[in-house]
Structure formats: C-alpha cells, structure tokens
Amino acid sequence: MSVHVDVLSSEADKIVGNAEIGHRPIPADITEMTYPLQRARQFAYQYGAYSSRPSYTSFVVLLDAYERLAKEIDAARTDEQRWKAVLGRLPVQYAELQRDVSETRAALAKER
C-alpha cells in the first residue's frame, strides 16, 4: 500500500506543479495520472478483507480524493474558463490530498 501512496503522491505533485507553471495536461499526461489510480484501486479490491484497518480506510479516502482531482483536471484541460476555475481550486484540493497521504502513511506506520 505504501508504494501506491508514494506513486499517487508523486504523480499529484507532478500534475499540480505543471499546472501551476501553466502547463495544461495532454491526453498522455492524463493517462499517466490515471493509471496509478487504476492499479491502486485494484490493490484495494484485492485486499478488501483488510477494510476494517484504519490504513485501508484512509487509503480509500486518498483514492477518492485523487480520483476527484484527476477527473476535474481532465474535464477542464481543454476549456480555458474551466481550466482557470480548476487552477483556483487546485491549492485547496492539493492540500486535502496531501493530508490524506499523510493520514494514510501515519495509519500504516501505526499498524506496523
């Protein structure tokens, strides 16, 4: 699970960093952003028997936050007005996502 958290966090860092410097994602960027989410969802499904663990719960919250961010970026990337609106919300969404990353890592550390 920690590998998935690291990959999702790194990918969010990259996509948000690029957006902040004015780079709008192209389809390949969206694929690069969504593939780790698909793999992480498969992992969560595969280990659903651990759903009572706090780390699992935090992980699913992180996946949901990451998915919302990815969908919003993808939906807005070709429309100037929507893109500007997303950029305005991005700092808050990114901070929430990083909070979810931290909570998942903390729960994993506690369970070790």
**pLDDT tens-place string over residues 11-50:** 999 999 999 898 999 999 999 999 999 999 999 999 999 9
User: pTM to 2 decimals?
Assistant: 0.94
Residues 47 and 56: their CA atoms lie apart, in Å, by 9
For the chain, count helices (H), then strands (E). Answer: 4, 0
- The predicted pLDDT at position 35 comes to 97
**pLDDT tens-place string over residues 45-65:** 999 999 999 999 999 999 999
52: helix, strand or coil: coil
CA dihedral angle for residue 95, residue 52, residue 109, residue 41, rounded to 10 degrees: -60
**pLDDT tens-place string over residues 1-12:** 999 999 999 999
- The predicted pLDDT at position 61 comes to 98
Percent of the chain surpassing pLDDT 70: 100
Tell me: pLDDT of 69 over 90: yes
Residues 74 and 25: their CA atoms lie apart, in Å, by 8
Asked whether 55 and 107 are in contact (CB, 8 A), the reply is yes
Tell me: pLDDT of 93 over 90: yes
Burial 64-84 (b: 16+ CB within 10 A, else e): ebbbebbebbbebbeeeeebe
DSSP label of 53: S
